[in-house]
Amino acid sequence: MIETTQQELEKVILVGVCDNEGDDTEDSLAELAELVQTAGAQAVETIIQNREHVHPGTYVGSGKVEEIREAIARTGATSVICDDELSPAQISNLSDLLSVRILDRTLVILDIFAAHATSSEGKIQVELAQLRYRSSRLIGLGKSLSRQGGQMGNKGPGEKKLELDRRLIQARVAQLRRELKEVEQHRDITRAKRKKNAKPVAAIVGYTNAGKSTLLNHLTQAEVLEEDKLFATLDPTTRVLELSGKQELLLTDTVGFIRKLPHHLIEAFKSTLEEAKYADYIIHVVDASNPQREKHMQIVYQTLTELGVKDKPIITLFNKQDLRTDDEPLRDFRADYTLSISAKNEIGLDRVRDLLEQILRDNKVLFEGIIPFSQGSLLQQIRKQGELLSEEYVAEGVSVKAYVPQDVLGRLLAALEKNKTES
Ligand SMILES: Nc1nc2c(ncn2[C@@H]2O[C@H](COP(=O)(O)OP(=O)(O)OP(=O)(O)O)[C@@H](O)[C@H]2O)c(=O)[nH]1
Ligand SMILES: [Mg+2]
């Protein structure tokens, strides 16, 4: 930690292409600067070119290449980072013309993921994404690979691995795929177990840095790393949220979304990202203090659609209300419920709990009846899956008032009916 502050940060120049009016290149580049910072470097200059399409050979036109060259000389930058994924030819041509390392947004994100992956699954997923990205770009990266040492774009699979030829990479990819399959099977089993427990699950989703982990930590005592960094969380964490009336909801914190999320990552992280697909409810955390919040929400919904998440109740939480400077109304037409909160300052969290309780209850039905002593297991089931309002021991059994899930009610009534006909 101390080392990084003492070391001089690597200086980089950011380059973007603005391909139409009203395009969000500037915001995207501001975000790229944050990504670069999270990756441990410093953006010293930003250069934008207005042109209809990116240049197929050099990403930007020759005039801009000159401008970048001057900026490199002026600032002493050692890398140029383009805001879109570069083709092998673009990387190769630009490094010939500029003689510095040429990176792109995807590589920066991959770097951050590599640095933050902690679980074996996360590490496999990152390595897989990196190898896939790099296998098609071996030629272009050849030059930059000879000069390295803890710089950006070099984390994860070490130099040795990168020098393997394509065939070896392919073999490694196949092996990682197999390993991933095993981990995924394990995850499927865990999911199946959860399902059997019949505890409802809510996935906490949202743009990176919105405050998802903070919310989980303050609602439960999860102790997930929360940081003012992009992609602090890569591994999903699930915790039980205990609500009143013995109701329980499983909350899963997930990896954040971002614009231009590299498809290598989406593919590699599919099983992690898909947590939302297996959830009963979606809790969408939005950084309401971010001027880009509308765009962020749009990207979140777009990504959810790509992942095949649909038809689930959505609870949108407008977070960081303590940092808001505008008073524009906060709206989310796609949400079924919205609340304004501050996870960090625990403002509005009681309302979140109340709302979740309400939603869970709405999905249950009231049961009132006497459960014979011979049917003790039914009572167990109510305790486990329902919300017991009252129980009283009477002569015939236990008189119960409880909210129970529809399927449990069905079983209850059938068992009681059977009991009646037998006695
Ligand atoms: N002021 C303020 N800061 C908050 C609030 N909620 C979260 N934060 C801060 O926002 C930053 C990001 O929070 P995280 O919980 O790590 O965000 P995340 O959505 O999990 O981010 P990733 O895991 O990177 O996708 C941290 O520095 C938090 O302390 C809030 O209500 N108010
Ligand atoms: Mg997080």
Q: Where do the H-state alpha helices sit in 165-211?
A: 166-197
Residue 104 pLDDT exceeds 50:
yes
Q: Where are the beta strands (DSSP E) in 182-322?
A: 201-206, 237-243, 247-253, 281-287, 314-319
- 13 token code pair: 């120049």
pLDDT in tens, 129-147: 888 887 766 543 433 333 3
Q: Which fold has domain 199-360?
A: Rossmann fold (3.40.50)
Residue 342 is labelled as binding a ligand:
yes
Q: For residue 139, what pLDDT is reported?
A: 43
Helix, strand or coil, per DSSP, at residue 120? helix
The two domains 199-360 and 363-422 share their CATH topology (first three levels equal): no
The residue to mutate among 37, 113, 116, 214, having the most atoms of ligand 1 within 8 angstroms of its beta carbon, is 214
Average pLDDT of every residue of the chain: 84
Residue 163 pLDDT exceeds 60:
no
ipTM above 0.95? yes
pLDDT in tens, 54-73: 899 999 999 999 999 999 99
Q: Where are the beta strands (DSSP E) in 77-144?
A: 79-82, 101-104
The 337-340 sheet, strands edge to edge:
237-243, 247-253, 201-206, 281-287, 314-319, 337-340
Domain 363-422 is found in CATH 2.60.40: no
pLDDT in tens, 194-217: 666 667 889 999 999 999 999 999
Residue 192 is labelled as binding a ligand:
no
CB environment 18-38: b (16+ within 10 A), e (fewer) = beeeeeebeebbebbbbbbeb
What's the CA-to-centroid distance between 213 and ligand 1, angstroms? 7
Contact 115, 227 (CB under 8 A): no
Read off the pLDDT band of 423 (50, 70, 90).
low
Q: How far apart are CA 70 and CA 66, in angstroms?
A: 6
- 141 token code pair: 């990266």
What's the CA-to-centroid distance between 385 and ligand 2, angstroms? 29
Q: Could you name the CATH architecture of 2-166?
A: 3-Layer(aba) Sandwich (3.40)
Answer yes or no: is the C-beta of 323 below 6 A from any ligand 1 atom: yes
Residue 237 is labelled as binding a ligand:
no
What's the CA-to-centroid distance between 231 and ligand 2, angstroms? 7
Listed by start position, the domains of the chain span 2-166, 199-360, 363-422
Answer yes or no: is the C-beta of 231 below 6 A from any ligand 1 atom: yes
What's the CA-to-centroid distance between 287 and ligand 1, angstroms? 8
Answer yes or no: is the C-beta of 130 below 6 A from any ligand 1 atom: no
